[in-house]
Amino acid sequence: MVEVAAAKVGVTGKRRVYSVGRYGVALAALLMASAAGVMVGKARLDPGTVLAILLSRLPFTDFTPWWPASFEAILLEVRLPRIVMGGLAGAGLSVAGATYQGLFRNPLADPYLVGVAAGAGLGAALAMAMPLPPGLYSLGVVQLAAFLSALLTVGLVYSLARVGRSTPVTTLLLAGVAVGSLASAATSFVMYSQGDKIPVIYAWMLGGFNITGWQQVTLAAPPVVAAALVLSLLGGVANVLQLDEDQARSLGVNVELVKVVLIVCATLATAAAVARVGLIGFVGLVVPHAVRLLWGPDYRSVIPLSALLGAAFLVTADAAARLLPGPQEVPVGVVTAFCGAPFFLFLLRRQKRSVF
């Protein structure tokens, strides 16, 4: 055994991965985004009223309502579920993006890489095109179909990419692209064979929070939160995967098992988000990079901070979408691309060293 005894450690290259500050900043961003999201909209709610309505819901408080009853309904039944859903979707997509970027060692990886988006789209399109009884739609059959179809597609991609006892990431990526194109083609076919459903299906794909209620939130929350927690705990392993698979193995990592866990968690988080809010782009790609630029590449902090900042980002983007003038609400995906891309470019130019 090599006797590498303890020596006095002076200056070190370690970054403060566990420092509280960065989590404080990210949480503050999320709180501010939520506050903005609560107040902005057709009915403007001022902070005092919002606070009073919330407090009046707590036991042992006694407020005489000075606000119209509709405000209470708007806040509790429309705005809050929408914000929580936005936060969950932003967190899920960003965590999945960070994970895939790490797993594929590729800065361009995004949550939709291994077929989640195409799978969810096909499932949703099929559910909307089929002549199902209307009651099922109000129960969320579209969301369920999208979720299950996304999981099935990723499962298919993974099993197709298996070579012997391992799953090389390049094969996984190529299988993801191939199966994704197949599913997209099938979606297009469904859309064109059911011409009258095209607007509905297309609107779903653009993404949005219009249909969100507490029921959808309670369905989406468990997979997203569980996946984000597990992925956050696997940050150290994700760091070692940045070397290459042989090095990770010789450092004691069970690479194939880790790959499965990472893919399952990232897929659950993405599918749960996409099934409810549609295909919102750019969040999962940009947020992890912003976190890396701000706080360094260590996945032990990249993953949890991506969850917080991703939630803040999507809640803000949704608030901005509600503020924009127009006959209809602008799809939130348009907003994420519009404000995400320039912000990303700014960060990219400010720091010329590689961030990945």
Partner 1 sequence: MESSLSLDKIAFRFEDAPVLQGVSLELSPGSLLGLVGPNGSGKTTLLRLAAGLLKPTRGRVILDGEPMERMSRSEIARRLALLPQNPNLPPSFTAWEVVMMGRTPFLGFLSREGAADRAIVGRAMEMARCRHLAERRMEELSGGERQRVIMARALAQQPEVLLLDEPTTHMDLQHQIAVVELVAELVRGGLAALGVFHDLNLAACYCTRLAVLSQGRLVAVGTPEEVLTPELLSEVFQVELCLTSHPEGGMPAVLPPGPRGNGQARLSPREVADLPGIGPHPDPLPGGEGVVESPLPEGDGRGVCEMDGNPERGRLRCSVN
Site for partner 1 contains 199 (CB under 8 A): no
Using an 8 Å Cβ cutoff, are 203 and 191 in contact?
Answer: no
Q: Would you state the structure tokens that stand for residue 266, as one six-digit string?
A: 């990232």
**79 or 289: CB nearest partner 1:** 289
Site for partner 1 contains 12 (CB under 8 A): yes
* Sequence letter at residue 83: I
Name the helix (H) or strand (E) containing 230: helix 214-233
Site for partner 1 in 237-256 (CB under 8 A): 237, 239-240, 242-244, 246-247, 249-254
Site for partner 1 contains 110 (CB under 8 A): no
Site for partner 1 contains 2 (CB under 8 A): yes
**Alpha carbon distances (Å) from 176 to 111, 118, 257:** 11, 10, 19
Site for partner 1 contains 259 (CB under 8 A): no
Site for partner 1 contains 235 (CB under 8 A): yes
Could you tell me which of 90, 116, 69, 75 has the C-alpha nearest to residue 224? Answer: 90
Using CB under 8 A, pick the residue from 9, 20, 69, 163 that binds partner 1.
Answer: 9
Site for partner 1 contains 134 (CB under 8 A): no
**61 or 254: CB nearest partner 1:** 254
Site for partner 1 contains 289 (CB under 8 A): no
Could you tell me which of 247, 129, 119 has the C-alpha nearest to residue 182? Answer: 119
Q: Would you state the structure tokens that stand for residue 82, as one six-digit string?
A: 């929408």
Site for partner 1 contains 355 (CB under 8 A): yes
3-state helix, strand, coil in the chain (%, to 5): 70, 0, 30
Residues that bind partner 1 (CB under 8 A): 1-15, 18, 105, 233, 235-237, 239-240, 242-244, 246-247, 249-254, 292, 296-298, 300, 353-356
